Amino acid sequence: MTKTTITLKINGATRTVDVEPSDVLIEVLRDKLGIKSPKIGCDRGDCGTCTVLLNGQTVRSCLVLAVEADGGEIVTLEGIGTDGLTPLQKAFIAHNSFQCGFCAPGVTLAATELLRKNAQPTRDEIKEAIAGNLCRCTGYTPIIDAIEDAAKPANKKTKAKK
Ligand code: FES
Ligand code: FES
């Protein structure tokens, strides 16, 4: 098969890489670019552990061809909290939100996207936002509690203005 060179902006750095037309994004990120936080779980779009942000939207990178992402901007967990932990990450730690951590990168990106779009999510909106990210360990409660807590400063500010 003919290889194609694609360019991606990953966590702020421009990277070029040769890919086969059939290469999926998760393989390229992990095997060719050394970005290891997105994991391969189900490899068919069910578990969410391969989640990355592509042009600001969460995508399951096991379902995206690398050539489809050409020219795109990707953020993975490695690109979150580079200036210190984000309030969301601190809340995850405070709530002991993760056990094995397999789901953590995907959940963090899904919650980051949610809080960017909706600074005051309801508990149901939080559940909906992370619904595609399977966690086998926690029962989700400490994850949802942390996301709710991370959104609290925005909630408080808005209430104070009223
Ligand atoms: Fe992509 Fe499970 S590995 S959704
Ligand atoms: Fe183990 Fe979520 S902490 S899968």
40 C-alpha to ligand 2 centroid (Å): 14
25, 44, 79 - which closes a domain: 79
Q: Are residues 45 and 101 in the same domain?
A: no
| Alpha helices, H only, the chain | 25-27, 87-94, 104-117, 123-129, 141-161
pLDDT tens by residue, 107-135: 999 999 999 999 999 999 999 999 999 99
Tell which of 14, 44, 79 closes a domain: 79
Between CA 32 and CA 99 the distance in angstroms is 28
pLDDT at 159 over 90: no
Q: Which atom of ligand 2 is nearest to the CA of 104?
A: 2
Ligand 2 nearest-atom number relative to CA 97 = 3
- What domain count does the chain have? 2
Q: Do residues 10 and 61 both lie within one domain?
A: yes
What tens digit of pLDDT does each residue of 11-61 get? Answer: 999 999 999 999 999 999 999 999 999 999 999 999 999 999 999 999 999
Give the distance (Å) from ligand 1 centre to CA of residue 159. 38
